[in-house]
């Protein structure tokens, strides 16, 4: 288990926790408009309103994706934007505030590939911190393609189908979570 520190640092936006730089802070409380203060609250250094007590919790981003198969091949998308521009990954993206991770995974798959997917199970939940947009968790599902026409859309420039022995090399895969899952899939697991 990784040891986490709650040691306070300066109170500006450059504060770092767990190796991740957070750039968002409130100047004023969104509930009562009082100027926010940095305090030790709920075991960590957080912004809190001295008037109404509202606490700003810096939450992880939640992403969801699907390792989906069609005819024994896995579907991968070549990214057209950073992070991971020009590299392959599972069709995936951020979960919207009003949807479940499963719904977000299915939506992102369709938005990026033009394909309809059915989720068959949960493969993994992975924490990541090496993303300029902030730390998060990726919920990765297994699935199968059930319809649609492959077409790169949204932030994808190419859709590909790969057998176990055709998987792109590790340095051609955009994210560590995807490399690990693809290696498991290549070796016969999911």
Q: How many residues does the chain have?
A: 190
Distance (Å, rounded) from C-alpha 12 to C-alpha 72? Answer: 51
Task: Classify the phi-psi angles of 121: left when phi > 0, otherwise alpha if psi is within -120 to 50, otherwise beta.
Answer: left
Question: Same domain for 52 and 67?
Answer: no
What pLDDT score was predicted for residue 1? 29
Question: Same domain for 34 and 65?
Answer: no
* Overall pTM > 0.75: yes
| Overall domain count for the chain | 2
Q: Answer yes or no: is 138 within a domain.
A: yes
- Of 7, 32, 56, the position where a domain reaches its end is 56
pLDDT tens per residue, range 57-102: 988 889 999 999 999 999 999 999 988 999 999 999 999 999 999 9
What sign does the dihedral 121-142-124-153 (CA atoms) show?
Answer: negative
What pLDDT score was predicted for residue 13? 34
What pLDDT score was predicted for residue 23? 58
Question: Same domain for 88 and 177?
Answer: yes
Distance (Å, rounded) from C-alpha 46 to C-alpha 114? Answer: 42
Q: Give the domain extent around 21.
A: 16-56
User: In Å, what is the CA distance from 19 to each residue of 47, 48, 113?
Assistant: 19, 23, 33
What pLDDT score was predicted for residue 188? 80
pLDDT < 70 stretches in the chain: 1-23, 189-190
Question: Same domain for 28 and 67?
Answer: no
Annotated catalytic residue 102: no
Question: Same domain for 44 and 113?
Answer: no
What pLDDT score was predicted for residue 190? 56
Pick the catalytic residue from 158, 166, 172, 183.
158
Nearest to 112 by CA among 63, 77, 73, 147: 77
What pLDDT score was predicted for residue 126? 87
């Amino acid at each position: 288990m990784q040891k986490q520190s709650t040691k306070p640092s300066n109170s500006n936006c450059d504060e770092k926790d767990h190796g991740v730089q957070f750039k968002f802070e409130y100047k004023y409380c969104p509930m009562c408009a009082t100027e926010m203060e940095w305090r030790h609250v709920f075991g960590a250094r957080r912004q809190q309103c001295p008037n109404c007590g509202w606490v700003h919790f810096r939450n992880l981003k939640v992403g969801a994706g699907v390792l989906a198969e069609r005819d024994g091949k896995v579907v991968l998308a070549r990214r057209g934007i950073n992070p991971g521009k020009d590299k392959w990954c599972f069709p995936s993206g951020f979960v919207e505030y009003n949807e479940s991770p499963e719904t977000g995974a299915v939506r992102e798959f369709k938005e990026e590939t033009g394909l309809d997917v059915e989720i068959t199970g949960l493969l993994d939940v992975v924490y990541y911190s090496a993303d300029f947009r902030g730390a998060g968790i990726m919920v990765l599902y297994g699935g199968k393609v059930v319809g649609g026409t492959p077409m790169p859309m949204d932030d994808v420039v190419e859709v590909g189908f790969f057998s176990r022995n055709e998987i792109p090399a590790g340095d051609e895969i955009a994210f560590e979570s995807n490399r690990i899952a693809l290696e498991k899939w290549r070796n016969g697991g999911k």
